[in-house]
Structure 1
Amino acid sequence: MKKREVHASVKDERLIQKRRDQMINGAVRLFIEKGFHRTTTREIARAAGFSIGTLYEYIRTKEDVLYLVCDRIYDQVRERLEQILNTKPQTTLEDLKQAIANFFRVIDEMQDEVLVMYQEVKSLPKDALPYVLHKELEMVDVFKQMLERCVDSGEISMSERQIKLHSHNIYVQGQMWAFRRWELRKLYTLEEYIELQMEFLIESAKGVKEPAKECIYCETRNVSAN
């Protein structure tokens, strides 16, 4: 899917990236504190360390800033995940565990950004939302590919439908460390959370079999008959 273009009047690409990084860092703090809608572009400019006039040389709307925040988060997380996937022709169960643990640690490092994304993605303009959601599915697909490779190697047994659901489970459980942090951090350290989630996400996948539809039908019929 084509990347959404954010217009800038400045032509120096390195300067554009530098200024936008400053914007993103300042905006994340403000969005966490006040929310997207209550934050003004003037406040974003001040938090970034330059004037409102300079801000508008690099973006056109406040929604552009939110889009840049979401885009950077997805890029950074996906880049780290693909470092494992692309360097090995085959994925072992240990590789998958390492990828999940690294994903959770990235979420921990970027918890403020992830929380902004989780809370404010609905505020993206209509032309940006499909692109951002597609990038999320691309990250889910990284785990899907890893699971498929583990199935191919015989280390786990899952159907294609189960693989798809499990890849979403991995992604959501990682994000949960950020958006449920107000409670989870009272109960677990990050490493404890990773260990417990690993038992749920990996150990439960070994040798799992999808229930046959005939059996479900039979059980339903027997219950009805009784």
Structure 2
Amino acid sequence: MEGRTVPTLVKDEELIKKRRNQMIKSAVSLFKQKGFHRTTTREIAQTAGFSIGTLYEYIRQKEDILYLVVDSIYEQFCSRMEEAVSQGGNSGERLHNGIRAYFKLIDDMQDEMLVMYQESKSLNKDSLQYVLKKELLLTSIFEQLITDCVDENICHLSKEEIHAFAHNILVLGQMWAFRRWALHSLYTIEEYTELQMKLMNVREKIPI
């Protein structure tokens, strides 16, 4: 899926990747503390360890950094999810593994998740549409896993149920980040994952 191009004055692709990764890390920390609108590009550059002039060699405006942050998060999610579900086993095992991998990713990237959902509204229309398509791409990974289970006669679900099931998985994973202030004192991520799978009747619907 092609995203928009963020302008840069630098030709070295490796250096672009390095500097932008530094910006992303810095921006996530600052956006979490202060929000997108209250964070300045000078603060992002300072936290990243270079000058404001250097920062503007790699981006055009502050919104570009937010776009890079959100795009990077989705890229990591989709890449790591595709890797997790490509492991062997039948479709039921792949779905179970995919749910566990997704919830663990949420746990690993809680700060990024919060920034993404709190601040993505500040993106321009085209950038927002792009990241929303990435969200649907992530949902489609689970839709395909569930569809594979249906095709192999491991379970029997309608198309409408498959869509709802996939969205439920995403939202329940995201809840670990959004309500961590309440959940972390009650469960480990492993306990939370197994509990949610039980509440979704995953094992009953799709036994392995």
TM-score interval (norm. to shorter): over 0.9
Q: Give, as a single letter, the amino acid of the residue that structure 1 aligns with 2:102.
A: F
Task: Name the stretch that deviates more: 191-200 or 138-147.
Answer: 191-200
Q: Identify unmatched segments of 5+ residues in structure 1.
A: 208-226
Deviations 1:92-111 (Å, cap 9, x if unpaired)? 21221111101111111111
TM-score (norm 1): 0.87
Counterparts of 1:127 and 1:9, CA distance in 2 = 23
Q: Which has the larger radius of gyration?
A: 1
Which residues of 2 match residues 25-104 of structure 1 at below 5 A? 25-86=25-86, 91-104=90-103
In 1, the alpha carbon distance for the partners of 2:32 and 2:11 equals: 31
Instruction: Write out per-residue CA displacement over residues 176-215 of structure 1, whole angstroms, 9 at most, x where no aligned residue.
Output: 11111111112211111011011123136359xxxxxxxx
Counterpart of 1:210? none
8 Å contact from structure 1 (residues 70, 132) kept in 2: yes
Which amino acid is the alignment partner of residue 153 of structure 1? E
CA 1:193/1:49 → structure 2, altered by over 3 Å: closer, same or farther? Answer: same
Amino acid at match of 1:103: Y
Supply the AA of the counterpart residue of 2:154.
Answer: E
CA contact (8 A) 2:84 2:101 kept: no
Percent identity between matched residues is 56
After TM superposition, the structure 1 stretch with the greater mean CA deviation from structure 2, 180-189 or 145-154, is 180-189
Aligned to 1:194: 193
Q: Hey, what's the Cα distance between the residues in 2 that align with 1:23 and 1:167?
A: 33
Q: Give the counterpart letter for 1:146 in structure 2.
A: L
CA RMSD of aligned residues (A): 1.5
- With the length of structure 2 as denominator, give the TM-score of the two structures: 0.94
1:156 Cα offset (Å): 1.6
Q: Quick check: 1:118–1:179 contact (8 Å CA) kept in 2?
A: no
Deviation digits for residues 149-196 of structure 1 (CA, Å, limit 9, x no counterpart): 011111121100000111011111111111111111122111110110
Cα separation, 1, equivalents of 2:60 and 2:93: 46
Q: 1: distance between equivalents of 2:204 and 2:49?
A: 49
1:63-98: CA deviation from partner (whole Å, max 9, x where unpaired)? 11111111111111111111244455x842122111
Determine the structure 2 residue equivalent to 1:181: 180
Distance between the aligned counterparts of 1:91 and 1:3, measured in 2? Answer: 34
Question: Aligned AA for 1:41?
Answer: T
Matching residue's letter, 2:118: Q
Distance 2:2 2:42 in 1: 30
Deviation at 1:140, TM superposition (A): 0.3
- In structure 1, give the amino acid aligned to 2:184: R
After TM superposition, the structure 1 = structure 2 runs for residues 116-195 of structure 1, keeping only pairs within 5 Å, are 116-195=115-194
Stretches of structure 2 that go unaligned for 5 or more consecutive residues are none
- For residue 166 of structure 1, what is the amino acid of its counterpart? F
1:138 & 1:110 partners in 2: Cα distance?
18
Extract structure 1 runs of 4+ deviating beyond 2 A: 84-88, 203-207
The whole-number CA distance in structure 2 between the counterparts of 1:134 and 1:41 is 27
User: Whole-Å Cα distance in 2 between the matches of residues 111 and 172 of structure 1?
Assistant: 14
